[in-house]
């Protein structure tokens, strides 16, 4: 359809990673076919949007006007939805998402796109609303207005000043004041400087950056051009994971479109300011999220961090002053410029301004992307937005900050999410991973999981991280295998503290966090593993034993599924498990209809 | 005057220069902060974390090798926490290191051992899985033992920053990270020049020379063979260090005596064949100058340099002198001229070279250097190996009565001695070339502009009204740089001396390990070794190669004149391009 | 076959020539390795030597980079690449069991290829499909909500198809 004609209907189909695998493309074809059938194709605009955040419920489709969200349906439901909704003007209520807290809070803004007052999605403000492959869409939501404002009305130092005033802090993890970083880089002599967008998102279970770029690539570009203007750089680089082909494709298109519109390249908007962007791909190294390692990688080397100082703001890429921010930080910039530092700093807490995007995952009803004002409590995020713990289970811990963060138990649920509070609670803000764990999680095993990750991602340069995390992992592994020794917990703490303080880069300095925080908060679980050789969550298989109690009727079902023939017993007689043969797979327990098999 | 700042070390104020690291400041005021990956000639790695200190106001420890001092900074080097952290770090290194100190070649002269001792490591808390790798025994010169590598990266930085050969690199990551040539290939297949500088800077035994001491001990017991040794100039300038002496003592006589005690029948002086090299090389230069041959002519004495040339600069092979190295000339003469003299079947001669060099082991194995089907040099041992053999054989090296080299291949001029220091070959060549060319004796024979440790040195001499422009480079990195100059401006020089090792042969890959208070490749140490050689030169009454009577005699008896057919047969060789081709790389570090 | 390889080398050379037009060409090493892997499916010594000579980057340096990054493979991949997501969400929901089942079924470890060259097994970090956890990606296709039984069925399906293709092909 012709983009200049205002459509009667807008159908937004989520094209996020979870939804793609639930056939968003076929869905689009089916919707198109149905629209054709009713002669509505010309009056309707179909948008394949970035991640809408409702990953647990895909596929997801929003029909406007009416702002009705359909989710969890099948392609065969499409004719019914189109006919009922667009032709008969009713709803297929069984497929409509209605009372879910997550979505109410999440998409309240949808009906009222331009009104930013109530907006809680700043970084992700356009994700799911616009077609990420259309620069016109972005322009229609005040896109590149901030850039125009900066180039026509502001001096570079004004931009830096605005950034300092707004209180924005780096969203990549450490929370360094963004304005300060900009001014430090701006102060350095030129002529050659660089602006880098760190999109090497690598936390297991985090996909904020991916969704942000896939859903709204232009906002990152706009932020970076503004950054380049502010610090006096004419070249920007987006360092992005090669594992994100869709994000790369959309970013490439956005860059090409922006160039074609004169928003990127030489003499942007006739201002005399020139700035261009280049994409550099990572190749699968978590440590490249660390800024000095990232620089090494862009230079074509092994991503091994180097000691700081000198900081990248002084000596960065190719030895030149370099400004590095992550995707979410960049995505905030246009809003700060447009709506002003004072507006931005009215959102959030005293020391942490604005909003933060989290990837909510784990044992929680609604998994997906959440953007909340700083200061929102963990409880609000997990229970009000996330819908609580599924299957009637008990909350046990929440882990923020990915493998660099810590695990917080119940008593920290009322902690507001801001940099300082999370740190006090023994965790970190990190880049936005948030994993909820229920009673079925073994904290020793979780600590081991995270440490295994960082250990595997250690670049191998500095001794504490390379050798120390290996030893910690060995100790944790033997604890989970029932071979822990009395002094092992102390050894973990001793190594952990040393690694934190002595490692070369942020990866090593934070690698022990999951272990130290679980020891601090769940020490008795560690002690049970070591002393009693017991795993209360029943996760550490080496510590489990299966027995058959008096409820056994001798049906023989367990005997038949046992892969190692560890169960014996005559028909209609109580069966027995031979612990020497049992491999603790738990199949017997799953099979038993009489609850006669107990795990201890 | 540099700006000064006040910093506090362990609560005591000190005025130190600004713009230096905590470690540099500490060194100057007498706090030796333990260290491992740091090396003054190499870039800062900050990897081992042994040199961490506590700085008030910093959340984490800082690596003192990398962190600059600033006004009012309060530094703690020995608190309980920092001592424990440092100790634990060293333990972590040890935990992933073979526990075979007793059977290790570097037992007693290992930096890791010293460090563990200094940390007071008396117990291990964190032992676990240890890395396991095969040794790389493929190279004739250098052994790589990845199990002993502690990943300090000194060798990698040395190979890329100083030698610019880039043979070694880090590969893999994390616990599996390791140092290796490309594709984990054997050093023999790689662009390794065998210079052995990695051995010099390695704190442990992850790099060693290919050791021939056991084989030599066995063959010295063979009554059927005549055992002949030759000793390179730089060996005498450094061997004392292996016995705890300060650098700079020339110990030629002791070395000769000790070799005799070891069982050698004859000990010759490589300085003699150095004189011979000068005769040939100076004549070759004059010939090229007169007949319009390929210029600049480049020296060919350094074996690491020759391998580097064949792999990295094959286009410049025509520029290289065809002269064999002094070692190979000596080997060739031993098995021909000398064998005839003592009326012995050359096959019964065991020719051993005691060299400051590891690459000479590779050179000795080059097929084109064979003489009448025999290897000219049967075995090459380094200064280190020789010192070990003396100790192992119970020879009281320090108190031994010095003896003289055997004649006729043991007499040398001072010019032969200075071969060992960078610029020495050039200096010696000019002394002779001048006279060969002009018929006059050069009086100003100490060419100061060619001495010292500047990477590339230049000089000029007027010969017969013609200006001869010369250049000298030491260390392969400087050599590579000079080759680029030659390509860009072929007319700029007439004659170039290249030595593969920093400082020349005195800094060779086979020289004694740095003692407990010294630094490998330390320039001060190199300076003292060079001074020992210049001292030998000054003390010699014969200071020009052509004045060496035995050199004159050998031309009379055997060779006729320099560049004669016989000379070519025995003293000259040829070079050819070799695979894999070396890539120097465009360093983009700005 | 030879012609195909030559054509791929030509494309790789073209890519390098393009890179050399820009500033600091050697900083594009990772992009070049990506291109080589895209063309050949993996990186081998011959390709890396070519890149070394063409880009004037020492081969030890290229080897260091190729072995540093997980993305680069140094052996030819199988017909299908099985990536098991080991992101936190998947791990919490049983990815380890799924991985163990695959290892058992295919008799390979992570980073290896089955003897019949049908499957290469690798670990993925988050695939961004946490809602479907635990997930496995086979080539470009994501399968969610797996357990050890389902994943084995899935693999057997692929193997059967691969076998048929071989017979027909």
3-class DSSP assignment, residue B248 = coil
For an interface test with B, the pick among A460, A476, A488, A499 (most B C-beta atoms closer than 10 Å) comes out as A460
- Report which secondary-structure segment, H or E, holds B169: strand B168-171
Among B194, B209, B224, identify where a domain stops: B209
Per-residue model confidence (pLDDT) at position B519: 82
Residue B287 has pLDDT above 80, yes or no: yes
Domain boundaries in chain A? 9-98, 136-342, 355-438, 443-532, 544-599
Residue B484 falls inside a structural domain: yes
pLDDT reported for residue A66: 65
CA of A536, closest CA in chain B: separation in Å?
Answer: 27
Q: Which CATH architecture has domain A355-438?
A: Roll (3.10)
Q: Which two tokens stand for residue A490?
A: 């102390």
Does the beta-carbon distance from C131 to A56 stay under 8 Å? Answer: yes
* Cα(B303)–Cα(B467) distance, integer angstroms: 30
Q: What percent of chain B has pLDDT over 90?
A: 95
Q: Search chain A and give the residue with CA nearest C68.
A: A302
Q: How confident is the model at residue C163 (pLDDT cuts 50, 70, 90)?
A: confident
Confidence (pLDDT) at B1: 63
B586 contacts C26? CB cut-off 8 A: yes
Candidates B585, B587, B588, B590: best to mutate against C (most CBs of C within 10 A) is B585
Instruction: Tell if the CB–CB gap between A456 and B174 is shorter than 8 Å.
Output: yes
Chain B residues whose CB is inside 8 A of the C61 CB are 166, 169, 585
One domain for residues B423 and B351? yes
B252 and B334 co-located in one domain: yes
Query: What CATH number is associated with residue B165?
Result: 3.30.70.20
Q: Does A297 touch chain C (CB under 8 A)?
A: yes
Q: Between chains, do C48 and B168 touch, taking CB under 8 Å as contact?
A: no
Predicted local distance difference test score (pLDDT) of residue C116: 87
The one-character DSSP state at B371 is B
A476 touches chain B (CB under 8 A): no
Q: Is residue B581 part of a domain?
A: no
A242 to chain C: closest CA residue? C71
Is the omega angle on the peptide bond into residue A65 within 30 degrees of 0, that is, cis?
yes
CB-based contact B488:B414 (threshold 8 Å):
no
- Residue range B220-249: mean pLDDT, rounded: 96
Alpha-carbon span A242 to B491, nearest angstrom:
50
What's the mean pLDDT in B178-191?
96
d(CA B332, CA B569) in angstroms, rounded, equals 10
Q: Which of B78, B97, B114 is the last residue of a domain?
A: B78
User: Which residues of chain A register pLDDT less than 50?
Assistant: 1-4, 99-119
Report the C-alpha gap between B33 and B10 in whole angstroms.
Answer: 12
Instruction: State whether A455 and B174 contact (CB < 8 Å).
Output: yes
* Contact status of C53 with chain B (Cβ, < 8 Å): yes
Of chain C, the end-to-end C-alpha distance in Å amounts to: 16
Taking one residue from A and the other from C, the number of pairs with CB-CB distance under 8 angstroms is 128
Which chains form contacts with chain C, at 3 or more CB pairs under 8 Å? A, B
Which residue in the set B49, B125, B589 is minimally distant from A463, CB to CB? B49
- B205 plus B218 within the same structural domain: no
CA distance readout (Å), C18 to A255, A292, A496, B323, C25 = 19, 27, 47, 45, 9
Nearest to A129 by CA among A66, A221, A52: A52
Is the domain of B356 the same as that of B219? yes
> CA A495, A496, A500 angle in degrees (round to 5)?
115
Same domain, B255 and B185: no
Residues 6 or more apart from A483 whose CB is under 8 A from it? Answer: none
Which three-class secondary structure state does DSSP give residue C126? coil
Relative to beta strand A546-548, strand A433-438 is unpaired
Q: How is chain B split among helix, strand and coil, in percent rounded to 5? A: 40, 15, 45
What is the pLDDT at residue A50?
Answer: 74
Residue C4, pLDDT > 80, answer yes
Peptide bond into B566 cis (omega under 30): no
Number of domain units in chain B:
3
Q: At which residue do the structure tokens 């003897």 appear?
A: C115
- Closest residue in A to C137 (Cα) is A21
Q: Which two tokens stand for residue A189?
A: 């002599």
Is the pLDDT at B390 greater than 80, yes or no? yes
DSSP string spanning A350-415? SSSBSEEEEEEEESSSS-EEEEEETT-BHHIIIIIIT---GGGPPEEEEEESGGGS-EEEGGGTT-
Nearest to A466 among B60, B63, B174 (CB): B174
- Between 2.40.70.10, 3.40.50.11540, 3.30.9.10, 3.10.20.440, what CATH number should domain A136-342 receive? 3.40.50.11540
- Tell me the CA distances in angstroms from C72 to A151, A243, A490, B301, C30, one per residue in order: 42, 12, 39, 43, 10
Q: Is B528 found in the same domain as B490?
A: yes
Contacts of C48 in chain B (CB under 8 A): 182-183
Are the Cβ atoms of B169 and C60 closer than 8 angstroms?
A: yes
Please tell me if residue C147 touches chain A, with a CB cutoff of 8 Å: no
Count the neighbouring beta carbons within 10 Å of the beta carbon of residue B82: 17
Residues in A closer than 8 angstroms to B66, CB to CB, are 307
Mean pLDDT of B268-296: 96
CA distances from A131 to A535, B81, B294 (A): 49, 56, 69
Residue B590 CA to residue C27 CA, distance in Å, equals: 13
Does residue B430 have a pLDDT over 80? yes
* CATH ID of A544-599, from 3.30.70.20, 3.60.110.10, 3.20.20.20, 3.10.310.10: 3.30.70.20
Window 486-545 of A: residues touching C by CB (8 A cutoff) are none
Residue B488 shares a structural domain with residue B434:
yes
What is the complex's ipTM, to 2 decimals? 0.93
Last residue of a domain, one of B32, B57, B78: B78
Using the predicted structure, report yes or no on whether residue B268 has a pLDDT greater than 90. Answer: yes
Contacts of C55 (CB under 8 A, 6+ apart): C16, C19, C20, C25, C26, C29, C32
Q: Is the CATH number 3.30.1330.10 carried by domain A443-532?
A: no
Residue A111, pLDDT score: 34
Per DSSP, what are the bridge partners of residue A424? none
Confidence at residue A470, expressed as pLDDT on a 0 to 100 scale? 97
pLDDT the model gives residue A118: 32
CB spacing of A463 vs B89 below 8 angstroms: yes
Q: How far is C55 from chain B (nearest CA, A)?
A: 8
Residue in chain B nearest C65 by alpha carbon: B171
Residue B528: what pLDDT? 96
Beta-bridged to residue A352, according to DSSP, are: none
Residue numbers of B annotated as active site: 281, 284, 301, 321, 360, 363, 368, 505
Taking only the tens place, the pLDDT of each residue in B112-137 is 999 999 999 999 999 999 999 999 99
- Please count the helices (runs of H) and the strands (runs of E) in chain C: 7, 4
Give the one of B172, B173, B583 whose C-beta lies nearest to C58's C-beta: B583
C-beta of residue A227 within 8 angstroms of C-beta of residue A327: no
User: With contacts defined as CB-CB under 8 Å, which chain A residues touch B48?
Assistant: 462-463
Provide the Cα torsion A264, A269, A270, A273; round to 10°: -50
Q: What is the tens place of the pLDDT at every residue in C18-64? A: 999 999 999 999 999 999 999 999 999 999 999 999 999 999 999 99
**Chain C neighbours among A 62-91 (CB < 8 Å)?**
none
Q: Is residue B580 included in any domain, yes or no?
A: no
Which single residue is written with the structure tokens 């990915």? Answer: A402
Nearest CA in chain A to B58: A501
Contact call for C130 and A459, based on CB within 8 A? no
Phi, psi of A434 (to 5 degrees): -140, 110
The set of residues, in sequence order, having a beta carbon less than 8 Å from that of B101 and lying 6+ positions away, is: B107, B110, B113
Say yes or no: do domains A355-438 and A544-599 share a fold.
no
CA angle B331, B332, B337 (to 5 degrees): 110
What pLDDT score was predicted for residue C168? 55
Q: Do the domain assignments include residue B84?
A: no
C56 touches chain B (CB under 8 A): yes
B219 plus B310 within the same structural domain: yes
Beta carbons of B303 and B323 less than 8 angstroms apart: no
Distance of residue B576 Cα from the nearest chain C Cα, in angstroms: 19
pTM beyond 0.80: the answer is: yes
| Interior angle at CA B418, CA B414 and CA B419, nearest 5 | 120
pLDDT bracket for residue B460 (50, 70, 90): very high
**Residues of chain C positioned with their CB less than 8 A from the CB of A237:** none
CA-nearest residue of chain B to A500? B60
Question: Nearest-CA distance from C142 to chain A in Å?
Answer: 6
pLDDT of residue A93: 77
Query: Over 70: is that where the pLDDT of B80 sits?
Result: yes
- CB–CB contact C48 B182 (8 Å): yes
d(CA B552, CA A236): 71
Does residue B57 lie in a domain region?
yes
Q: Under a CB-based contact definition with an 8 Å cutoff, are residues A510 and A455 in contact?
A: no
Is B149 part of a structural domain of the chain? yes
| Residue C94, min C-alpha distance to chain B (Å) | 26
In DSSP notation, A15-40 reads: -SHHHHTTTHHHHHHHHHHHHHHTT-
Whether B490 maps to a domain, the answer reads yes
Task: Establish if B471 belongs to a structural domain.
Answer: yes
Q: Within chain A, what is the greatest distance between any pair of CA atoms?
A: 90
**Residue B189, CA distances (Å) to B161, B369, B392, B552, C43 in order:** 21, 20, 34, 42, 19
Chain B residues near residue A504 by CB distance under 8 angstroms? 46-47, 49, 63
Give the strand order in the sheet containing A395-400: A368-373, A355-362, A433-438, A395-400, A407-409
Q: Quick one: pLDDT at residue A108?
A: 38
Q: Which of A484-488, B498-502, C82-86 has the lowest mean pLDDT?
A: C82-86
Over residues C137-145, the mean pLDDT reads 85
Q: How would you classify residue A173: left for phi > 0, otherwise alpha for psi between -120 and 50, otherwise beta?
A: left
Does residue C91 sit at the A interface (CB-CB below 8 Å)? yes
Residues B358 and B326 in one domain: yes
Q: Which of B583, B587, B588, B589 to mutate to test the interface with C (most CBs of C within 10 A)?
A: B583
B205 shares its domain with B173: yes
Contact C87, B209 (CB under 8 A): no
Look at residues A306, A249, A64 and name the one whose alpha carbon lies nearest to residue B153.
Answer: A306
Confidence at residue A107, expressed as pLDDT on a 0 to 100 scale: 37
Pairwise CB contact (< 8 Å): A302 & B66: no
Chains in contact with A via at least 3 Cβ–Cβ pairs below 8 Å: B, C
Put simply, whether B124 touches A (Cβ < 8 Å) is no
Question: Are B287 and B428 in a shared domain?
Answer: yes
What's B112-127 look like in SS3?
A: HHHHHHHHCCCCCCCC
CB contact under 8 Å between C61 and A301, yes or no, is yes
Q: What residues of chain B lie within 8 A of the CB of C24, using their CB?
A: 588
- Domain A9-98 classified CATH 3.40.30.10? yes
pLDDT tens digits along B127-175: 999 999 999 999 999 999 999 999 999 999 999 999 999 999 999 999 9
* Distance in angstroms (rounded) separating the CA atoms of residues B421 and B250: 13
- What pLDDT was estimated at residue A110? 39
Let me know whether B251 and B381 are in one domain: yes
Question: Of A18, A58, A205, which is closest to C88 when you measure between CB atoms?
Answer: A205
| Domain interval for residue B204 | 142-209
**What's residue A468's pLDDT?**
97
Instruction: Determine contact: C70 vs chain A, CB below 8 A.
Output: yes
Phi, psi of C35 (to 5 degrees): -65, -45
- Asked if the Cβ–Cβ distance from B583 to C52 is below 8 Å, we say yes
Q: What is the pLDDT of residues B305-327, one digit of tens each?
A: 999 999 999 999 999 999 999 99
- For residue A207, the chain C residues in CB contact (below 8 A) are 126, 128, 130
* B233 vs A6 pLDDT, higher one: B233
């Amino acid at each position: 359809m012709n983009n200049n004609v205002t459509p009667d209907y807008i159908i937004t189909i989520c094209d996020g990673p979870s939804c793609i695998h639930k056939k968003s493309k076929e869905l689009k074809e089916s919707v198109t076919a149905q629209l054709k059938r009713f002669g509505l194709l010309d009056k309707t605009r179909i948008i394949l949007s970035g991640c809408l955040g409702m990953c647990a419920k895909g596929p997801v489709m929003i029909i406007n006007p009416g702002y009705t969200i359909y989710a969890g349906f099948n392609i065969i439901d499409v004719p019914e939805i189109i006919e009922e909704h667009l032709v008969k003007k009713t709803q297929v209520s069984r497929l409509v998402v209605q009372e879910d807290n997550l979505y109410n809070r999440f998409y309240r803004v949808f009906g009222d796109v331009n009104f930013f007052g109530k907006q809680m999605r700043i970084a992700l403000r356009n994700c799911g609303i616009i077609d990420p492959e259309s620069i016109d869409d972005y322009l229609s939501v005040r896109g590149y207005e901030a850039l125009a404002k900066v180039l026509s009305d502001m001096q570079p130092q004004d931009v830096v000043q605005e950034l300092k005033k707004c209180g924005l802090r780096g969203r990549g993890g450490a929370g360094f004041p963004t304005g300060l970083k900009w001014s430090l880089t701006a102060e350095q002599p030129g002529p050659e400087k660089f602006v880098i967008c760190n999109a090497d998102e690598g936390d297991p279970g985090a996909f904020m950056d991916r969704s942000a770029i896939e859903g709204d690539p232009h906002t990152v570009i706009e932020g970076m051009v503004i950054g380049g203007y502010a610090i006096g750089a004419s070249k920007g680089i987006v360092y992005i994971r090669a594992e994100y082909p869709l994000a790369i494709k959309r970013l490439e298109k956005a860059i090409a479109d922006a160039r074609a519109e004169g928003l990127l390249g030489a003499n942007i908007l006739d201002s005399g300011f020139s700035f261009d962007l280049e994409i550099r791909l990572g190749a699968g190294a978590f440590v490249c999220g660390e800024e000095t390692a990232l620089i090494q990688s862009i230079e074509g080397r092994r991503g091994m961090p180097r000691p700081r100082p000198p900081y990248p703001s002084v000596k960065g890429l190719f030895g030149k002053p370099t400004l590095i921010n992550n995707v979410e930080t960049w995505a905030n910039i246009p809003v700060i410029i447009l709506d002003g530092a004072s507006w931005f700093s009215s959102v959030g807490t005293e020391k942490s301004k604005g909003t933060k995007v989290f990837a909510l995952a784990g044992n929680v009803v609604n998994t997906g992307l959440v953007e909340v004002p700083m200061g929102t409590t963990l409880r609000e995020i997990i229970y009000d937005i996330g819908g609580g713990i599924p299957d009637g289970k008990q909350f046990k811990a929440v882990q923020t900050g990915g493998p660099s963060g810590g695990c917080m138990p119940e008593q920290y649920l009322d902690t507001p999410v801001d940099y300082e509070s999370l740190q006090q609670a023994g965790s970190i803000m990190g880049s936005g991973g948030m994993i909820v764990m229920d009673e079925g999680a073994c904290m020793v095993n979780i600590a081991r999981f995270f440490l295994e990750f960082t250990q595997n991602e250690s670049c191998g340069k500095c001794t504490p991280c390379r050798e120390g995390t290996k030893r910690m992992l060995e100790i944790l592994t033997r604890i989970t295998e029932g071979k822990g020794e009395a002094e092992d917990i102390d050894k973990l703490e001793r190594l952990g503290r040393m690694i934190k303080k002595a490692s070369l880069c942020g990866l090593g300095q934070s690698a022990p966090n999951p272990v130290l925080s679980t020891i601090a908060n769940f020490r008795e679980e560690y002690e049970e593993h070591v002393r009693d050789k017991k795993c209360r969550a029943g996760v550490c298989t080496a510590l489990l034993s299966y027995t058959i109690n008096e409820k056994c009727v001798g049906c023989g079902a367990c005997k038949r599924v046992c892969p190692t023939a560890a169960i014996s017993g005559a028909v209609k007689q109580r069966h027995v498990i031979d612990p020497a043969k049992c491999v603790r797979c738990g199949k017997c327990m799953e099979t038993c209809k009489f609850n006669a098999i107990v795990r201890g | 005057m540099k700006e000064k700042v006040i910093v506090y070390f362990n609560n005591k104020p000190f005025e130190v220069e600004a713009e230096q690291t905590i470690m540099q400041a500490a060194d100057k005021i007498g706090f030796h902060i333990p260290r491992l990956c740091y090396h003054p000639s190499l870039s800062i790695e900050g990897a081992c974390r042994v040199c961490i200190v506590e700085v008030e106001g910093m959340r984490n420890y800082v690596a003192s090798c990398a962190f600059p001092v600033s006004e009012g900074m309060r530094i703690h080097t020995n608190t309980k926490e920092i001592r424990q952290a440092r100790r634990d770090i060293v333990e972590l290194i040890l935990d992933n290191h073979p526990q075979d100190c007793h059977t290790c070649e570097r037992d007693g002269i290992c930096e890791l051992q010293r460090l563990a001792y200094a940390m007071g490591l008396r117990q291990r808390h964190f032992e676990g899985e240890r890395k396991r790798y095969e040794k790389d025994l493929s190279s004739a010169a250098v052994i790589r033992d990845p199990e002993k590598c502690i990943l300090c990266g000194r060798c990698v930085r040395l190979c890329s920053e100083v030698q610019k050969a880039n043979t070694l690199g880090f590969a893999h990551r994390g616990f599996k990270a390791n140092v290796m040539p490309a594709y984990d290939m054997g050093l023999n297949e790689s662009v390794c020049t065998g210079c052995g500088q990695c051995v010099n800077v390695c704190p442990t035994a992850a790099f060693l020379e290919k050791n021939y001491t056991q084989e030599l001990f066995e063959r010295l017991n063979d009554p059927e063979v005549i055992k002949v040794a030759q000793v390179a100039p730089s060996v005498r300038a450094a061997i004392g260090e292996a016995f705890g002496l300060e650098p700079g003592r020339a110990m030629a006589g002791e070395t000769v005596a000790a070799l005799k005690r070891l069982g050698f029948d004859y000990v010759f002086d490589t300085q003699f064949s150095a004189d011979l090299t000068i005769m040939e090389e100076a004549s070759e230069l004059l010939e090229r100058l007169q007949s319009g041959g390929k210029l600049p002519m480049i020296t060919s004495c350094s074996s690491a340099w020759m391998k580097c040339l064949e792999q990295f600069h094959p286009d410049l092979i025509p520029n290289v002198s065809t002269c064999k190295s002094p070692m190979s000339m000596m080997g060739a003469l031993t098995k021909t001229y000398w064998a005839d003299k003592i009326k012995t079947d050359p096959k019964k001669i065991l020719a051993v070279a005691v060299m400051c060099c590891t690459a000479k082991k590779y050179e000795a194995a080059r097929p084109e250097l064979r003489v009448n089907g025999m290897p000219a040099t049967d075995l090459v041992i380094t200064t280190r190996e020789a010192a070990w053999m003396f100790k192992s054989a119970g020879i009281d090296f320090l108190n031994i009565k010095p003896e003289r080299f055997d004649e006729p291949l043991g007499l040398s001029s001072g010019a032969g001695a200075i071969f060992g220091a960078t610029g020495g070959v050039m200096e010696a060549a000019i002394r002779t070339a001048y006279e060969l060319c002009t018929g006059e004796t050069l009086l100003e024979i100490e060419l100061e502009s060619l001495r010292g440790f500047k990477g590339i040195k230049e000089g000029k001499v007027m010969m017969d009204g013609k200006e001869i422009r010369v250049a000298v480079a030491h260390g392969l990195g400087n050599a590579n740089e000079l080759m680029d100059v030659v390509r860009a401006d072929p007319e700029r020089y007439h004659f170039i001396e290249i030595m593969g090792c920093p400082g020349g042969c005195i800094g060779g890959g086979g020289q004694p390990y740095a003692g407990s208070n010294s630094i490998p490749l330390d320039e001060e140490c190199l300076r003292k070794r060079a001074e020992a050689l210049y001292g030998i030169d000054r003390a010699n009454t014969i200071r020009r190669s052509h004045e060496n009577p035995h050199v004159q005699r050998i031309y009379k008896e055997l060779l006729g004149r320099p560049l004669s057919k016989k000379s070519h047969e025995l003293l000259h060789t040829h070079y050819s391009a070799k695979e894999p081709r070396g890539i120097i790389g465009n360093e983009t570090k700005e | 076959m030879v012609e195909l390889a030559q054509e791929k080398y030509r494309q790789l050379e073209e890519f390098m020539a393009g890179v050399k037009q820009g500033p600091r060409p050697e900083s594009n090493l990772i992009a070049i390795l990506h291109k080589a892997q895209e063309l050949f499916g993996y990186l081998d010594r011959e390709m890396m030597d070519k890149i070394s000579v063409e880009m004037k980057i020492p081969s030890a340096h290229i080897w260091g980079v190729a072995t540093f990054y997980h993305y680069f493979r140094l052996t030819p991949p199988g017909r299908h690449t099985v990536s098991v997501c080991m992101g936190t969400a998947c791990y919490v929901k049983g990815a380890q069991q799924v991985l163990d089942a695959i290892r058992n079924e295919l008799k390979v470890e992570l980073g290896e290829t089955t003897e019949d060259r049908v499957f290469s097994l690798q670990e993925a970090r988050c695939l961004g499909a946490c809602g479907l956890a635990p997930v496995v990606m086979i080539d470009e296709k994501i399968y969610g909500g797996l357990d050890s039984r389902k994943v084995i069925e899935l693999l057997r399906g692929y193997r059967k198809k691969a076998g048929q293709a071989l017979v027909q092909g």
